[in-house]
A = this chain, B = another copy of it.
């Protein structure tokens, strides 16, 4: 945990923004895997972690704004629990570690909510993504499960999102710790991956590193020689010399701040010249995008700048033709770059995604596009100092998509399909770093992870 005062101050700041009523925070419970008692590793809810920091299942908390009172609800362990789990802190001790004076049993929460209703008070809560918590909302507040999130408090979401958007120095330090783990995961993968191995061999090794060095993965590893598949979670292919593999992975620190890094490297340790051409377009695009970032500029415009840089590069190779700005406006580049440039990063790898991207990444002035590719951009609004986000352009040759567009004669004015088909088995390249917006620009966070062609080749040749 951070120091007690961090949590006290975060709650004080929130209280200034929500004037009245009650704020209800549901912590997470254990998540059953194949039966109730065999659970996935415990992950506390990020909102709960942000305001209370207690990393333990089956808790809830309220901030009673009208009476200026905070209560943690949870049950102490019995001697039977202690035999199975070892000595545990009491709820009182847990609460005091984040500066909360009052505690009650979990079942008291139902009475608390009943009482609040009787007094005609508003109970604010954020959207829920765990089904057991949706059922708790049903039980406590009487909202049908399928409508749970229709009753989430927009005022609360906006207040919390505004607060979590800008990172404190101690949060940035945590993210840099998470990137230190990602550094080990990336450089180990480059050195460990060899022809004849399966993707799974590398995926398991670096997942284990994330578990040893932090709190495990911040999201399922993408490690694939089919590097054109954006979120590939199968690992059954055998690596060959000549393959380009993408490693998109990250870890959580013990306080659950995330990293998210992508590198693409040749299994053999040496890029082919065709691979190098595409790789360098992506690398230049990433560097250009990072150099664009500064306060007040929208991330939407940074994304478009990246799309233009990719288009320029692909024009030089003869894959795209025509006017760059027109091609990007039409969305022709999205055949190769079909996703957004990046996303917020913090306690969640897609920070605050559970609040709904349109609640914090877009607003009245900045509306989500419906265009293929651009519609996946997760954050479009103007940037601010100390916002942390990923910058992750990519170029992919996705056979199913190429076939479909060509059949539909889509963007034939911009796309040279004949040339594109020469790259059909190429795969893809993505390069991703985590950056913080500074006073006048941006800083790539963490110890630099090799990305220049010669640096990647050096490490990927130095096998373990």
**A residues with CB within 8 A of B:** 31-43, 45-46, 79, 82-87, 129-132, 134-135, 138, 145, 198, 200-201, 203-213, 219-220, 226, 229-234, 338, 347-350, 353-354, 398, 400-401, 404
Contacts and interface: CB of A to CB of B under 8 A. Distances in A.
A38 to B, nearest CB: 5
Nearest to A79: B404
Query: What are the 10 closest A-B residue pairs judged by CB atoms, nearest first?
Result: A208-B208, A204-B212, A131-B131, A204-B211, A86-B229, A35-B354, A40-B40, A35-B353, A204-B208, A131-B132
A229 B129 CA distance: 32
A380 to B, nearest CB: 18
Nearest to A256: B34
Interface-central residue, A45, A46, A83, A130, by most chain B CB under 10 Å: A83
Contact of A32 (B37, B42, B130, B203): B130
A79 B401 contact: yes
Contacts of A232: 85-86
Number of this chain's copies in the assembly equals 2
B205 A212 contact: yes
A209 B204 contact: yes
B79 A400 contact: yes
Contacts of A86: 226, 229, 232, 234
Contact of A130 (B82, B131, B134, B229): B131
Contact of A398 (B33, B83, B131): B83
B353 A37 contact: yes
A45 B38 CA distance: 12
B401 A83 contact: yes
Nearest to A202: B212
A405 to B, nearest CB: 10
Contacts of A87: 400
Contacts of A348: 34-35, 38
A335 B52 CA distance: 37
28 contacts: A31-B32, A31-B40, A32-B129, A32-B130, A33-B40, A33-B43, A34-B43, A34-B347, A34-B348, A35-B350, A35-B353, A38-B348, A38-B350, A38-B353, A40-B40, A41-B233, A83-B398, A84-B230, A85-B233, A131-B132, A131-B134, A138-B145, A145-B145, A203-B211, A204-B209, A204-B212, A205-B212, A207-B208
Contact of A208 (B79, B82, B209): B209
